[in-house]
């Protein structure tokens, strides 16, 4: 999530982007046929091309995200019970296995692509504001914003603890002492986070916060947003139609 965004999709209202992503993801999750997932792959691709989404950066991210998942699908799913489809040496690939593998790989990529194109370049403040305006519970929005803000601080704290451990001769090995040391480090991180959370709550109270989410930015819904929502709905309808007609 970038906080300073230079993406062309910024012309769309953040609410429209969230709705497009959520709609595509939900329809993708419900799809059971590979052909029904293809529109969910094409739609964000087309949107990305129109709005000059940095696909080069995404390709490396997608490889890393999907690598293990695809490897697991390739090595396990094709060999589930069912009628044989192809033989690879001593192994037999079954029809339902190949079908399942195809559906899962396509669905995984469609989900990553939708979220990446519509959401990944959105300013974090805009995301929070848009979620709040879409009537997502305030507690959830604030939790999300806090995660975005404090993930770096948490990582820094973790790095400090690791450094302190190494400075005192800690060298991870496969033994009980290493496990116990890691448990102590996680415990320390948890306690520090708890302490920080209490102080952040105090800081929020000092600045007049009492449970509501007030956004700094204003949102403007334009005709283009309605057009893109309409297009997303059409894509979803096509997905359902393709799924039923097979």
From the CB of 184, what's the least distance to another protein, in Å?
23
Q: Give 71's contacts (C-beta < 8 A, 6+ positions apart).
A: none
Nearest CB to another protein, comparing residues 42 and 204 = 204
Min CB(1)–another protein separation in Å: 8
Pick from 56, 27, 61: nearest CA to 42 = 27
Strand partners of residue 182: none
Beta carbon of residue 146, minimum distance to another protein (angstroms, whole number): 7
- State both tokens at 123: 């300013």
| Least distance to another protein, CB of residue 153, Å | 5
CB 220 within 8 A of CB 13: yes
For another protein, the closer CB: 77 or 123: 123
Residues 66 and 108 sit within 8 Å (Cβ to Cβ): yes
SS3 per residue for 42-61: HHHHHHHHHCCCCHHHHHHH
Give the interface with another protein as residue ranges (CB under 8 A): 3-4, 123-125, 128, 145-146, 148-150, 152-153, 196, 199-200, 202-210, 212, 214-218
Q: Considering beta carbons, is residue 93 or 154 the nearer one to another protein?
A: 154
Q: Which is nearer to another protein, 221 or 241 (CB)?
A: 221
């Amino acid at each position: 999530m970038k906080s300073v965004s230079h993406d062309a999709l910024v012309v769309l209202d953040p609410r429209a982007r969230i709705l497009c992503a959520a709609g595509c993801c939900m329809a993708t999750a419900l799809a059971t046929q590979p052909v029904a997932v293809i529109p969910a792959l094409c739609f964000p691709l087309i949107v990305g091309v129109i709005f000059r989404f940095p696909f080069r950066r995404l390709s490396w991210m997608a490889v890393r995200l999907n690598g293990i998942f695809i490897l697991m699908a390739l090595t396990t799913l094709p060999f589930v019970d069912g009628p044989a489809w192809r033989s690879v040496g001593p192994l037999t690939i079954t029809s339902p296995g190949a079908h399942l593998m195809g559906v899962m790989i396509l669905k995984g990529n469609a989900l990553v692509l939708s979220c990446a194109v519509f959401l990944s370049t959105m300013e974090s403040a805009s995301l929070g504001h848009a979620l709040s305006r879409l009537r997502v519970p305030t507690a959830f929005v604030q939790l999300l914003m806090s995660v975005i803000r404090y993930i770096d601080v948490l990582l820094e704290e973790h790095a400090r603890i690791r450094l302190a451990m190494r400075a005192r001769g800690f060298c991870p090995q496969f033994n009980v002492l290493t496990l116990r040391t890691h448990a102590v480090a996680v415990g320390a991180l948890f306690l520090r986070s708890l302490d920080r959370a209490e102080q952040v709550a105090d800081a929020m109270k000092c600045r007049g916060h009492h449970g509501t989410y007030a956004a700094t930015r204003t949102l403007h819904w334009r005709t283009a947003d309605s057009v893109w929502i309409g297009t997303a709905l059409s894509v979803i309808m096509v997905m359902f139609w393709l799924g039923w007609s097979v």
